[in-house]
Structure 1
Amino acid sequence: MVHFVLVHGLCHGAWCWYKVKPLLESAGHRVTAVNLAASGINMAKIHEIHTMSDYTQPLIELMESLPPGEKVTLMGHSLGGYNLALVMDMFPQMISVAVFLTAFLPDCTHSPSYVMDELMERNPAGFWLDSHLSSDLDPVKPKTITIFGSKCLTTKIYQLCSAQDLALAKMMLRPGSSFQEDLKKRKEFSKEGYGSVNRVYIVCKKDLLITEDFQRWMIGNYSVKEVMEIEDADHMAMMSSPDELCRCLLDIANKYN
């Protein structure tokens, strides 16, 4: 039995894994879907969360609660790649493999914000369509608050998902932050921690938010053990291609556990 720990992306919550969790469990595995701080049913408010570490705290607490000797298979989606990197740096010996699902893949050479900075540089403000990005005006630790707009969700994030999944997202999404300002100030992730853990990248070929080209640029910037592909997955592969995603995960579990 493998213990899968699933980490959502920006503005989302554990709810987004509702198709994948029962599929993995029916294959005999244990699955924990985490609500990061101020996400999903976590009671914190985004204005109370100041750093990527604060945001990652529920995942850190989960890792700290694991019994001695237990190893997990981590999967992070989108912004969740940063949450993975942070706990990989802290608990490398507790992770069999980390799976990056069309996720940010930082390296050990540049500032942690490097790949996010590059994405923002390549995509002008209009790229986000009707999404709302604003500063929280915190005088000590300012951050950008993001609220995805309906048009952005429909045409760039959930474009291959069902109408039901899109409706669920519109009801469940909460304001979030990528904590880019905080990531710019953090020291690089370490080769001894983050860099020592097996990394697998799952490319979603129909992703219009973190495009296939950008996913492959990140892989070229920081190599991984293995690259897998899902042909017809948009950004929300766990909803648009749950069966294919689960096949990838079960294959990964067999190889690395």
Structure 2
Amino acid sequence: MICLKALSSPVHLPTLRRLNPASAHRVAAAMSSSSTAVAAPVEHIVLIKARPEAAASGAAAAMVSSLQALSTLVPGLAYIHAGPVLRLRSPAAEALGPTHLLHSRYATKQDLASYAVHPAHVAAVQGHVLPNALDTTAVDWVNAVPLPSPVSPGAAVRLTLAKVKEGVEVAQLVETVAAATKAAGEAKGAKVSFGENFSPARAKGYQFGMVAVFDSVEELDAVEGDGKVEEAKAAVRPLLDEVVVLDFVVEPAGEAQAAASL
């Protein structure tokens, strides 16, 4: 999958529109594949910069455990992973400095809204996240194309958050990513989800999100330098102003607690 690089400092950006029906049709055409179509998931990403003392004391591990436990406590939560960041892959990611993240999925925006106010989620945030986080960044999007991007234990995931250049609309970026991803052949088996952020309040200006899911870290690393991937990057890069790129691993259940303490 394309790993997007930052180009310059952030700028003040104009109000953006959502994909109109014609644009959505072009995206769907660009991303057509033999995969069985499924309902487009609503993606929820939270980047967490944990306090150093929280990591040292085990409080960060307890935070991860409290978030992961929501999988059995919150109705409508289709998928959740909480854990440490594996690698920061762009200058903007290094500047933001997240140490942990949460990635969850929902069938609808209403399911996400219900999760946000559920007592178990509120308790985890108030009891573990807020006391132990120096900073958080949150982005939500609906997958632009209804294609599956399942995440399995042991998967390696590349997360990209982007700001577009002044005068560029996010709809244009979404269409370009769709075409570039198709041209790259979904980069050696990567399963992707991407779309326009619809929750700007905690997004720090990031307007676009994407996850590319690989079966392993080795498969993720194998796309670096791939000719088709580099062509895809070149197609997308002119639209971008600032990009966060980072990697994380969805640990097998038996290893999740050990990873949480990293």
Higher strand fraction (1 or 2): 2
Tell me which of the two structures has the higher relative contact order, counting C-alpha pairs closer than 8 angstroms and 6 or more residues apart: 2
TM-score norm. by structure 1 comes to: 0.31
